[in-house]
Amino acid sequence: MKATVIFRGRENMHRDIGYRILTRLRQEVGEHGTVETEPRQEGPFLDMILAPKKWTGQAPPAPPPSREAVKPPPTRRGA
C-alpha cells in the first residue's frame, strides 16, 4: 500500500505536518503492517510504502464479548 501526502502551494512550507501524518499512520497500522519505504519527498508528494505482515498461521485472538452480548442462561421454573 502506498500512502501519499500531496502538498499544494504554500503547504510545501509545512512538510513537518505531512511527516507527522505518516508517522501517525505507521503507529495505527503497526500491528498489521510494516514499513517497506520510509517517507520520502518527491516534488509535491511525500510517499511511504507499507506492506502487510506475514501470516504466522495463528488466528488473531478474538476480542472479548461485550457485556451486552452475554446473556444469562435461562432458568427453570417449577422444579
- Residue-wise pLDDT tens digits, 41-70: 999 999 999 998 877 777 766 777 666 656
Q: What pLDDT sits at residue 44?
A: 93
Please state, in angstroms and rounded to a whole number, the distance separating the CA atoms of residues 66 and 54: 29
Name the residue with cell 488466528: 59
Q: Is 19 exposed, middle or buried (0-12, 13-18, 19+ CB in 10 A)?
A: middle
Q: What pLDDT sits at residue 75?
A: 74
Encode burial over 45-55: b for 16+ CB neighbours within 10 A, e otherwise. Answer: ebbbebeeeee
Q: Is 0.85 topped by the overall pTM? A: no
Higher pLDDT, 25 or 62: 25
Fold of the domain built from segment(s) 2-52: Translation Initiation Factor IF3 (3.30.110)
Q: How far is CA 16 from CA 20, 41, 49, 71, in A?
A: 6, 11, 18, 50
Of 2-11, 28-37, 60-69, which has the strongest mean pLDDT?
Answer: 2-11
